[in-house]
Amino acid sequence: MKRTIAGLLFSSLYALPGAAADVTLAVSNIEAVQGELRWLVFDSAEDYAADRNPVVAGRSRVQADAMAVTLHDLPPGNYAVKLFHDANQNGELDTNMVGLPTEGYGFSNNAGRFGPPDFDDAAVEVQADTRIDVRVR
């Protein structure tokens, strides 16, 4: 089975009890074909809010304005995804002088109208193989 870097990272962190599922992040509306897409997957509101202890952290070169990333063998649970398009590959979501993002980003459920959504709004229940669509904003 072909595994992504994220999948390898994940499986090294966890010993899996019970049925695990593959999650496909279907990412669209990437502004420019350059740089990297970076994603973080959280399974708790606390970690999500603090950007701590992601269950998956991954990155991939952007080769089209849409891409699919498979995260393998996640145990059943609620997950929220944050991702951003690191167009200049400096490892950060760039912001301007007033703190507003100048690179693309997105959340699972495409949640959040004014700023980042709460974990509950972004969380997706994973019991079986699941596709999560994220439109980069």
Partner 1 sequence: MNRREFIQALGACPALQALPHMALAAGSPAWKLGFDGVSGDLSPLSLKVQGAVPEDFSGRLYRNGPALYERGGRRYQHWFDPDGMIQCYEFGPKGVTHQGRLVRTAKLQQEERAGRFLFDGAGTHFADALPARSNEDGNVANISIQPLNGELLALWEAGSAHRIDPQTLETLGVKHWSDELKGVPFSAHPHFDDNGDLWNIGSVPFGARPMLVLYHVAKDGTLRNARLHQLEFPGYMHDFVLTPRYLVALNNSAVLGAGDTFVDRMRWNPSQPSQLLVFDRSDLSLQATIEVPATFVFHFGNGWEQGREISFTGCAYPDARIMSDGMRLLAQQQSGAYHTGAELVRYTIDLPARAARVEPLGVVMEFPGFDQRQPFRAQTLYGSAGQERSESSLGSAVVAVDPLTGKQDRFDYGDGVVVEEPLFVPGKGNNYLVHSYLDYRAGRTGVALLDAQRLASGPLMRAEMDRVTPLGFHGCFLPGADASGPNSA
Among positions 55, 87, 104, 126, the unique one binding partner 1 when judged by CB under 8 A: 104
Q: For partner 1, how many residues bind (rule: CB under 8 A)?
A: 16
Among positions 100, 125, 127, 128, the unique one binding partner 1 when judged by CB under 8 A: 100
Q: What residues from 13 to 42 belong to the interface with partner 1 (CB under 8 A)?
A: none
Query: What's the Cα-to-Cα distance from 7 to each of 42, 92, 107, 124, rounded to whole Å?
Result: 14, 22, 19, 18
Is the CB of residue 30 less than 8 Å from the CB of residue 67?
yes
**Dist CA 79 CA 106 (whole Å):** 14
102 near partner 1, judged by CB under 8 A = yes
120 near partner 1, judged by CB under 8 A = no
Among positions 2, 17, 18, 96, the unique one binding partner 1 when judged by CB under 8 A: 96
77 near partner 1, judged by CB under 8 A = no
Assign 72 to helix, strand or coil: strand
Stretch that binds partner 1, among 11-19, 61-69, 73-81, 96-104 (CB under 8 A): 96-104
42: nearest Cα among 136, 92, 117: 117
Classify residue 110 as left (phi > 0), alpha (psi -120 to 50) or beta.
Answer: left
105 near partner 1, judged by CB under 8 A = yes
